[in-house]
């Protein structure tokens, strides 16, 4: 038996599924989902107002330690709004990592801003504080109203690191650098619900953090996102803007700003609340799965991505590193042809046609990872 066949056999045994298709990450509905959705339907409050929206926001703020939480239609909307609230304007620049999902770069573009791509750390897969420091030291000038790129002359107004696959980046160092250079920190914590750095939940280190509840996330609302705030005033403003900036009134329709229809419906929040009640169980199962993978791959000369030092990862998507791009492609072909869903990491943002002209630092780590990394089945169903 070749080692790829051995891996397929192990995955099938782990998920107790000797045949058929094994997805990368399937949702699990074993709680109060149907009950809460039925209650929501019976209440007739199925749109953007209702008790499940309020409870979901309150419970998520309590879970993460954020002062306030505001739900959105999806994580991309939440990122867009977070950048707007952080002060990103037309023709500004926003630093992020090339190793990320397209939503990160798209949200920057929605603001009319330009992304600048900085390398990641190999051990954490997230934006590297050392690469960030080097780029800012060599390429920027600090002025009274912020930090400016010497090449483009644009203001660098925000930075968006991502906690890739649920593994926290060196967010404490990044936060200090942002403070030093007067750059707003917006955390893309879309994949890291239940992850902690130095016992502090991801998404709570910057001005705003963003979560995602897409169908493949650790908990789901079908689609959905959330903003985490460290101050109540910003949360209040976010709630206003996401509801078309409507001035509260019993019957009149008056709007005092350009607003967005970004609010999560109550019926989705009902699903999310039921999912949140099960999160601790999901996290426990996913940690057990990661431990099984780590033990298995330790004897296969294949590196399993484990949680970094001073971190507690949710292990949203488990990942391995193969020898090179050729072996990666062979593995992807073999596993998918044998009913095991695996996928490579996203195409690096700077390689996509719409971002090819964006400024990049030296991104050798991101390129190295992109050639080797594969995600393997990670559902909380073992």
- The band of 192, judged by pLDDT with boundaries at 50, 70 and 90, is very high
Q: Express each pLDDT in 65-122 by its tens digit.
A: 999 999 999 999 999 999 999 999 999 999 999 999 999 999 999 999 999 999 999 9
Q: Which fold has domain 3-27+279-348+360-376?
A: 3.90.1150
- DSSP-assigned states of every residue in 107-167: HHHHTT-EEEE--B-TTT-SB-HHHHHHHHHHHEEEETTEEEETTT--EEEEEE-B-GGG-
- Distance from C-alpha of 58 to C-alpha of 363, rounded to nearest angstrom: 39
pLDDT of residue 23: 98
**CATH no., domain 33-278:** 3.40.640.10
CB neighbour burial string for 235-274, b if at least 16 within 10 angstroms, e if fewer: bebbbbbbbbeeeeeeeeeeeeeeebebbbbbbbbbbbbb
Provide mean pLDDT across the span 44-62.
Answer: 94
Instruction: Indicate if the pLDDT at residue 250 is higher than 90.
Output: no
Torsions phi, psi for 312 (to 5 deg): -130, 105
Which pLDDT tens digit goes with each residue over 340-368? 999 999 999 999 999 999 999 999 999 99
pTM, to two decimals: 0.95
Confidence of residue 301 (pLDDT cuts 50, 70, 90): confident
For the stretch 302-343, pLDDT in tens is 999 999 999 999 999 999 999 999 999 999 999 999 999 999
Residues 6+ apart with CB under 8 A from 62: none
pLDDT digits (tens, 9 = 90+) for 148-190: 999 999 999 999 999 999 999 999 999 999 999 999 999 999 9
Over the chain, what is the mean pLDDT? Answer: 96
Whole-angstrom distance, CA of residue 89 vs CA of residue 111: 6
Q: Report the C-alpha gap between 362 and 277 in whole angstroms.
A: 43
How large is the greatest C-alpha to C-alpha distance in the chain, in angstroms?
71
Angle between helices 279-297 and 266-277 (to 10 degrees): 60
Residue 262 predicted with pLDDT over 90:
yes
Each domain of the chain, given as residue ranges in start order, spans 3-27+279-348+360-376, 33-278
What does the pLDDT look like over 229-247, one tens digit per residue?
999 999 999 999 999 999 9
Q: Is the pLDDT of residue 1 over 80?
A: no
């Amino acid at each position: 038996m070749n080692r790829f066949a051995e891996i397929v056999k192990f995955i099938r045994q782990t998920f107790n599924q000797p045949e058929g298709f094994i997805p990368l990450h399937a949702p699990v509905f074993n709680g109060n989902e149907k009950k809460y959705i039925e209650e929501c339907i019976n209440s007739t409050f199925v749109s953007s107002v209702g008790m499940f929206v309020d409870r979901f926001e309150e419970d998520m703020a309590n879970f993460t330690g954020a002062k306030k939480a505001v739900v959105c239609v999806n994580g991309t909307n939440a990122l867009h709004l977070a950048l707007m609230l952080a002060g990103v304007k037309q023709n500004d620049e926003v630093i992020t990592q090339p190793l990320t999902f397209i939503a990160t770069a798209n949200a920057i573009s929605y603001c009319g801003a330009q992304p600048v791509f900085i390398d990641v750390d190999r051990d954490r897969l997230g934006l590297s504080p050392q690469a960030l420091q080097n780029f800012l030291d060599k390429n920027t000038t600090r002025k009274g109203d912020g930090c400016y790129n010497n090449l483009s002359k644009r203001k660098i107004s925000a930075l968006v690191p991502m906690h890739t696959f649920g593994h926290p980046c060196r967010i404490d160092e990044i936060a200090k650098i942002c403070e030093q250079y007067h750059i707003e920190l917006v955390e893309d914590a879309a994949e890291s619900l239940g992850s902690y750095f130095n016992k502090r939940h991801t998404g709570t280190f910057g001005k705003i953090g963003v979560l995602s509840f897409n169908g493949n996330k650790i908990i789901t609302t079908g689609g959905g996102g959330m903003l985490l705030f460290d101050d109540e005033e910003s949360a209040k403003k976010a709630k206003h803007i996401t509801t078309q900036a409507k001035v509260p009134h019993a019957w009149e329709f008056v709007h005092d700003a350009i607003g967005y229809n970004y609010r999560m419906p109550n019926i989705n929040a009902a699903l999310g609340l039921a999912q949140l009640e099960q999160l601790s169980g999901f996290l426990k199962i996913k940690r057990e799965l990661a431990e099984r993978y780590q033990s298995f791959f330790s004897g296969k000369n294949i590196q399993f991505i484990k949680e970094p030092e001073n971190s507690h990862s949710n292990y949203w998507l488990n990942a391995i590193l193969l020898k090179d791009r050729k072996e990666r492609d062979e593995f992807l072909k073999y596993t998918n042809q044998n009913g095991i869903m695996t996928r490579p990491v996203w195409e690096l943002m700077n390689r996509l046609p719409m971002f090819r002209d964006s400024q990049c630092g030296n991104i050798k780590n991101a390129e190295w990872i992109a050639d080797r990394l594969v995600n393997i089945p990670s559902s909380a169903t073992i």
